[in-house]
């Protein structure tokens, strides 16, 4: 069974608008972490934001915020005021603490920002 699911293979957004990238997860471990990474065409993995399973508040990092709905097991990434440089692949990932710290990635969403 897929542990991390991203159902949007590709998304388009107009420059300066906000966009939400979906991510759902499946785990029975009460202690876990959720991550979002950006991968531009160069291939490097750029860490964007992190949410711990025990965190009470949604994580925010500049233009990025994570809409964490624990009961629904979703961890959507919201990018506000999209910029052309935001065009990239975006991956949601999960780390379960009883699994040795390894990150498991979703399928990814390719975001294209239109001028």
Partner 1 sequence: GAVVSQHPSWVICKSGTSVKIECRSLDFQATTMFWYRQFPKQSLMLMATSNEGSKATYEQGVEKDKFLINHASLTLSTLTVTSAHPEDSSFYICSARSQQATGGYEQYFGPGTRLTVT
Using CB under 8 A, list all residues that contact partner 1.
33, 35, 37, 42-45, 47, 50, 52, 91, 95, 97, 100-108, 110
Q: Residue holding tokens 């239109």? A: 114
Rounded to the nearest whole angstrom, what is the least distance from the CB of residue 84 to partner 1 in the complex?
21
User: Which of 42, 56 has the CB closer to partner 1?
Assistant: 42
User: Which of 4, 18 has the CB closer to partner 1?
Assistant: 4
User: Which of 72, 102 has the CB closer to partner 1?
Assistant: 102
Rounded to the nearest whole angstrom, what is the least distance from the CB of residue 65 to partner 1 in the complex?
16
Q: DSSP for 11-56? A: EEEETTS-EEE--EE----SSEEEEEEEE-TT---EEEEEEETT-S
Rg (CA), the chain: 14
The Cα 74–Cα 23 span in angstroms is 6
């Amino acid at each position: 069974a897929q542990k991390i699911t991203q159902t949007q293979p590709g998304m388009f957004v107009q420059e300066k608008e906000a966009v939400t990238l979906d991510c759902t997860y499946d785990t029975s471990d009460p202690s876990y972490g959720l991550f979002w990474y950006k991968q531009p065409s160069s291939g490097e993995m750029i860490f964007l934001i992190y949410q711990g399973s025990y965190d009470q508040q949604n994580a925010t990092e500049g233009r990025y915020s994570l809409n964490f709905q624990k009961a629904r097991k979703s961890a959507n990434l919201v990018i506000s005021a999209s910029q052309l440089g935001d065009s990239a692949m975006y991956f949601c990932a999960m780390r379960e603490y009883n699994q040795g710290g390894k990150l498991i990635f979703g399928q990814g969403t390719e975001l294209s920002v239109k001028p």
